[in-house]
A = this chain, B = another copy of it.
Amino acid sequence: MKINIPESDQERIVIVGGGFGGLTLARLLKKQNYQVVLIDKNNYHQFQPLFYQVAMAGLEPSSIAFPLRKAFQGEKNVFIRVTEVERVDTEKKQLHTPLGFCNYDHLILAIGADTNFFGNEEIARKALPMKSVSEALHLRNRILTDFEIALSVTEYERRQQLIDIVIVGGGPTGVEVAGALAEMKRYVLPKDYPQLDTDEIDIHLVEGADRLLLGMSDEASQKALEFLEGLDVKVRFNTMVTGFDGENAMLSDKTQIPAHKLIWAAGVIGNKMPGLPRDSVVKGNRLKVDRFNIVEGTDSVYAIGDIAFMEEEDYPKGHPQVAQAAMQHAKHLAGNLKRLQKGEKMEPFSYKDLGSMATIGRNRAVADLPGFKFQGAFAWLIWLFVHLFQILGVKNKVFIFINWVWNYLTYDQSLRLIIRPKKDPAEVAKQ
């Protein structure tokens, strides 16, 4: 069955994935003489850098998610389909989905990356990842539920297990979650749970390397550690988490941390797309592309963002898997697709590092901008405004801004709600 999208005289560009890369590309192509089909499994774009604030009850999911249809209202060339993608047939130039197959002239894979559990199935089953707004919301519900349960537990060890948290991975996500949790412990929880001794909550951050924020400067890394330790986060270096049974985290040094919750932010792996040439799939499941983002061994399949592995002289391991790179890929590819249509030659991409930042808590952030490194309150302010500026939608910006100002002034968040949509009895029956 063919997917129900009108045929047109225009060449069809199919974009899979509405993240930073896919969405940016679709927006740049919407007024061009192409038919654009944007496919995502969700009906919204999600703003990944703030997932951790959703998990920590500081922001609502709706503030950092934006309906894809709203982004393309009135665009007659853009067709959005909410569905999974099963496989690609590069010979017939067809993409297969549960809604039917979809022909393409150009296929852009912006399918991103998901949590990498490095093959440990037990951890995959029991740990809490944070690579989608749904997972962030689930994490929030788990944290709050465990505090409620802990209130009724009189046995000391069991109570500790419920309130302690292990975070795996000292990258930006791990550092930001640890900082946000530590602030929640300090400012919010004592007011909500006077019956619990919130000083007893232990927040563990476990990192395999010997420093935090690999990829950022030593200054940033040092300062982040200082900030986290100032917030009582227990940081361990050169340690891996080798197992987690839902009650205890097993570490590579053979010790254990009893904890009911383990947040896994230790790495990513590219999402799969069956049907591509085997040689195009490289380390971390990324797709090897040339400097025009064309996937190796294909002629009209492109990959952008986290999923793309493009070697450059300065980036022998590919570009960093961050929003910035995805958006730069998207902008460049949009230019190349326009050139293609005019019969011009495509131009090779080169990555421009705009720097990176991470925030640890109120007035505490670290920033490495090109030629300018700084940490502390000013970095934190810059971090806030950069993120506010990037968020899609004026109303989202307004709501996030109010939330941040509110939380800053009151030392409180008011989103500590354990809300789950009612389960569909039919869905429950299917499981």
Contact = CB atoms under 8 A, between A and B. Distances in A.
A245 to B, nearest CB: 12
A194 B191 CA distance: 50
A131 to B, nearest CB: 10
Interface in A40-70: 42-44, 60-62, 65-67, 69-70
Interface string A355-382: 0000000000000000000000000000
Interface stretch (A133-141, A170-178, A206-214, A290-298): A133-141
Nearest to A154: B4
Contact of A417 (B67, B81, B148, B424): B67
B416 A148 contact: no
A43 B417 contact: yes
Contacts of A138: 421-424
A125 B429 CA distance: 11
A238 to B, nearest CB: 30
A255 interface: no
Interface string A69-87: 1100110100101100000
The size class of the interface chain A forms with chain B is 35 or more
Contacts of A61: 417, 419
Contacts of A76: 194
B44 A419 contact: yes
Contacts of A424: 138, 142
A415 interface: yes
Interface string A217-241: 0000000000000000000000000
Given A43-B417, A67-B414, A148-B82, A426 B246 contact: yes
Contact of A43 (B100, B144, B422): B144
Interface stretch (A20-28, A326-334, A392-400): A392-400
